[in-house]
Structure 1
Amino acid sequence: MCLIRKSLVLALTLAVTGVAVTGTRSAEMAAMVEKNSKNLDWLVQHPTIQKLLALHNQERARVGLSPSKLNPEMCLAAQRHAVWMAETGSMSHSGLPYRENIFMGVRTPEDAINGWIWSPAHHSNMLSGTEVGFGYMVLNGRYGWCSVMQ
């Protein structure tokens, strides 16, 4: 694995364990996201993204729906938006051409998914479409979560 991907995996691992990422580290991560946007295996195979997908599909199965397929390009779009939310501290929709769920403040994939399940509009998004993408970021204790569906 190249050094940049190792650094990004480390940054994402630190983020999910609750270690604060500095502003410089965040800028480095944003640059690495862009540099590695051609091959997205590093993102779609990340344990937190896989956990979000499993929880998302668990809820779909609970209501009798088939699982959503993880779309790498949608993951990249969601990841970019999650990084932006964590960097700016702003919780707002991205304007992407997808159904979108966002969350700030909760620390775990379970809390993000449960928050979306308990909101009728967000839950409806989760149950729509056949493809999904996820992204998340932690910066100075601010957590940003994003899911997109089509």
Structure 2
Amino acid sequence: MTSATSSTIDGLATPESPAPAVRLAPPEKPKPAPQPGPQIAMLRPEFQQQLDMLNAERSRRGLAPFAYNEQLGQAAQAHSVDQANRRLMTHTGSDGSNPGDRIRRTGYRFRNWAENVAFGYGSAEAVVVAWMNSPGHAANILSSNTQVGFGLAYSVDGLPYWTQKFGTPRS
């Protein structure tokens, strides 16, 4: 199951549908991210695969590649953990926050943001394919946003909760 939301500056996210407390993904050895622009992050394999797939989709359409942003990644990971803990796929945090609130908490100053969430997909490839086959999710992936961050956490029953955060920093 997937869900998408996006906004400019202070737009409000809407909650989505329910699903399955939390087992974090096992840590894996990070590998360096390719450098479509200034990159400093060392990404988990699942996140590197998402970044590669998203940037391939963007390239096919003549769009600039996303740069990975650690602050967006922090916001995405925290939201994946929150969803997995509650066993609920939603754009609304357990504290009532929307995606923009959670991004702002990391110190990221944005002009635009968007969020894709999903649960139950067993691989990065499967979740990206599902998002690209959904008009709202694909619109977020193919938007004018320039940066991305990812999150992945597992509920106690083993279901993966995926989050993508997109942003364009303020100048």
Q: TM-score with structure 1 length normalisation?
A: 0.70
Alignment partner, residue 141 of structure 2: 126
Write the deviation string for residues 33-66 of structure 1: whole angstroms up to 9, x where unpaired. xxxxxxx95xx42221111111111111121111
One-letter amino acid matched to 1:96: P
1:80 paired to 2:78: yes
Question: Structure 1 residue aligned with 2:159, among 120, 142, 145?
Answer: 142
Q: Which amino acid aligns with 2:116?
A: N
Match of 2:50 in 1: 52
2:151 maps to amino acid = G
Cα RMSD, aligned residues only: 1.9
CA deviations 1:51-89 (Å, max 9, x no partner) are: 111111111112111101100000000001111111211
In 2, Cα distance between the equivalents of 1:11 and 1:145?
14
Question: What residue number does 2:10 align with?
Answer: none
What amino acid does structure 2 have at the position aligned with 1:142?
L
Secondary structure class of the residue paired with 2:99: coil
Contact between 2:25 and 2:152, CA under 8 Å: does it hold in 1? no
1:23 is aligned to: none
State the SS of the aligned residue for 1:11.
Answer: coil
In structure 1, the residue matched to 2:69 is: 71
In the alignment, the residues of structure 1 paired with residue 117 and residue 25 of structure 2 have an alpha-carbon distance, to the nearest angstrom, of: 24
Kept in 2: contact 1:12–1:137 (CA 8 A): no
| Unmatched 5+ stretches in structure 2 | 1-23, 29-39, 93-97, 101-112
Number of residue pairs the alignment of both structures matches: 114
1:10 Cα offset (Å):
7.8
Secondary structure at the counterpart of residue 57 of structure 1: helix
Assess, with a 3 A threshold, how the Cα gap between structure 1 residues 101 and 10 changes in structure 2: closer, same or farther: closer
Q: Which has the higher helix share?
A: 1
Name the TM-score, length of structure 2 as normaliser. Answer: 0.62
**How many angstroms does 1:96 deviate by?**
1.6
2:106 aligns with none
For the Cα contact (< 8 Å) 1:76–1:133, is it kept in 2?
Answer: yes
Identity %: 32
Contact 2:117-2:162 at 8 Å conserved across structures: yes
